[in-house]
A and B are shown apart, each in its own frame.
Chain A
């Protein structure tokens, strides 16, 4: 390296600069390729019947309506469970305590949970929700498992969002006779809402794309789930089974396209929320 410097630092500088631009461009190309490849393979096979029909012959033909329903139900439930818990955790950490052994324990738990791979969540969800609590392979077991998985994301983003609300607003609220909870609901939460939304939607995205944890807890039943206690197959699981077992590449890609489209839509919402957050900060 040293010799290179001596040789001609300017040349090295230009060379490395080129490589670094190339790295950035290739990363974007990878993303673009994934999107284009899935779209090109999937969209031509999409149809109204595919979206609203039942799968036939193990998914080799027909549609994915039951999978759409299962995905929506599991994701919605997971988010509905994790959001209040996550936001409450963030509020407790930021507004109700000072740093202490307890808060460190809570933070440690959150951080550790964030690092656990989804297959472990799957194993846990299986022994705990499916077997121990007797919920069986069901939408509910899947949602409960996923809610634990996305809890750290929601806690972290909510906490960050809450910290962007200026201290002065809290003082004003208190000085006008607000109790702590009134201060939280009238000043902190409205100000943190865009950031919290980002976290929740980020979590939603993870639940939609998750496979390992869901297949072990919600099962892979093909029919339309009639209740939250019934098993169901999400789009991601369906895609996996079609793809891995070589049942039908066409159907797999069509499912993949719907899956990817959902993820894209979810990301658009995230970015909207982020923009709102940035705007709000600029106003202050």
Chain B
């Protein structure tokens, strides 16, 4: 954890005249799980989507400040956006398999970048599915539609789909909000195993989950970064009254 993967500097973000983020500065360390948490509407999803420029698709928005990935501004005009998104993968709140087979879903990213060799694609798929702890469940049905999987399996498929890109960063927005406790535990286990090789940024779906996963935690309230620091410390000895209220309120 020498140099931070992402450096977010004085970031403000507007939807029209509505300010969603206000002067947020934050460093996201490599090979660790960073947790963004806080009450609804705090800007967690927005911040996450800014990290791989997915919010470029939303009309009428404005961004101030800088986001550096490995020291380079990802919003500078010469950035290859699809390439950036391959480096910074995203798993959404709802499981969103594309209407194709399981195999086609997992290999979607590599196929976009031009890989056609089916043997190679199968290897990538197996590795990614193992990484998402799904391989054993789907190895015999790779050609079935992805929509035939259960919700929990679908979400792990989405994780595998991102892993197949071999990204450097994985962004996850409440990835377990639609899942039962067992599936949730499986996803959390995968994430903990994955952080050796990846930088992970997650919006958890509960404070408990935040506490379980956080190496670093950041508390966002109404677009402002209230507090951030090592997870274990932040959840046991929050420095800011508002953080404490939020944590204890939930725990209470």
Contacts and interface: CB of A to CB of B under 8 A. Distances in A.
Whether the complex brings A and B within 8 Å at their CB atoms is answered yes
Interface of A: 98, 168-179, 182, 186-187, 190-191, 280, 283-284
B54 to A, nearest CB: 6
Contacts of B82: 174, 177-179, 182
A175 B89 CA distance: 7
B182 interface: no
A176 B161 contact: yes
Interface residues of B, number: 23
**Which of A98, A177, A179, A186 has the most CB atoms of chain B within a 10 A radius of its CB?**
A177
Given A176-B85, A177-B86, A177-B109, A283 B161 contact: no
B92 interface: yes
A280 B99 contact: yes
Contact of A171 (B57, B99, B147, B162): B57
Contacts of A178: 82, 112
Interface of B: 52, 54, 57, 59, 82-83, 85-86, 89-90, 92, 94, 96, 98-99, 108-109, 112-113, 147, 161-162, 165
Nearest to B145: A283
B108 A176 contact: yes
Contact of B54 (A174, A280, A284): A174
Contact of B147 (A173, A175, A283): A283
Contact of A168 (B86, B92, B162): B92
B92 A177 contact: no
B98 A172 contact: yes
B57 A174 contact: yes
B99 A177 contact: no
A177 B96 contact: no
A117 to B, nearest CB: 39
Contact of B99 (A175, A182, A191): A191
A175 B112 contact: no
Given A176-B162, A179-B82, A186-B112, 19 more contacts: A98-B59, A168-B92, A168-B96, A169-B99, A170-B57, A171-B92, A172-B98, A174-B82, A174-B85, A175-B89, A176-B85, A176-B89, A176-B109, A176-B161, A178-B82, A182-B112, A187-B98, A191-B99, A283-B147
A175 B82 CA distance: 8
B112 A190 contact: no
B98 A177 contact: no
Main secondary structure of the interface of A (DSSP, over half): helix
B226 to A, nearest CB: 28
Given A174-B85, A175-B90, A177-B86, A284 B99 contact: yes
Nearest to A176: B109
A168 B112 contact: no
Contacts of B112: 176-179, 182, 186
A90 to B, nearest CB: 19
Nearest to B113: A177
A249 to B, nearest CB: 53
Contact of B83 (A169, A174, A177, A283): A177
Contacts of B108: 173, 176, 186
B173 to A, nearest CB: 11
Nearest to B86: A177
Contacts of B99: 169, 190-191, 280, 283-284
B195 to A, nearest CB: 20
Nearest to A175: B90
Nearest to B85: A177
A172 B155 CA distance: 13
B52 A175 contact: yes
Contacts of B109: 176-177
12 contacts: A168-B92, A168-B96, A169-B96, A169-B99, A171-B92, A172-B92, A176-B86, A176-B109, A177-B112, A177-B165, A186-B108, A283-B99
**Which of A170, A176, A182 has the most CB atoms of chain B within a 10 A radius of its CB?**
A176
A176 B94 CA distance: 16
B62 to A, nearest CB: 16
A86 B237 CA distance: 63
B98 A173 contact: yes
A179 to B, nearest CB: 5
Contacts of B52: 175
A170 B57 CA distance: 10
A110 B124 CA distance: 46
- Nearest 10 CB-CB pairs, A to B? A177-B86, A175-B90, A176-B109, A177-B82, A177-B85, A172-B96, A179-B82, A178-B112, A168-B96, A182-B112
Contacts of B92: 168, 171-172, 175
Nearest to A172: B96
A173 B109 CA distance: 8
